[in-house]
A = this chain, B = another copy of it.
Amino acid sequence: MNRTRQREVILQTVVNSRIHPTADDIYQIVRIKMPNISLGTVYRNLSLLCNIGKIRKINVVGQADRFDRANDWHDHMICIKCGKIIDITLECSPSIPELLSEQSGLEILDYSLVAQCICQDCSANISETEILGELD
């Protein structure tokens, strides 16, 4: 695998991002520094970086896939109101892969846990709306 400027910038963009960007988000960000980069290159590199485990793909129901750093393992919660993705390092003993492996008898290579939640901000807004609703 050759080392290219494009690949490096794409990796850094994902690792430094805190928004769990989609491929297109990454393309837009990288394009600021590197206007001639193509979306195809972004997809090719994201796919490659996933395969070698440098980044992770997060699957979100009904949306484009998102990407995330892979240096520390964590799970994800997505707010159903605003779509924000929140990282959580779920403590569970035995761990989820261990449980899966024990209970299925199969070799577990990876897993993805995405929960739907209501984030703090939206939770606050909902309460507000409810109160306002009562005033009608």
Contacts and interface: CB of A to CB of B under 8 A. Distances in A.
Contacts of A110: 115-116
Interface string A115-126: 111111001000
Name the residue among A77, A103, A112 with the largest chain B CB count within 10 angstroms. A112
Interface string A57-93: 1011110010000000001010010000010101110
Interface residues of A, number: 36
A97 interface: yes
A114 interface: yes
Contacts of A114: 59, 111-112
Contact of A118 (B75, B103, B107): B107
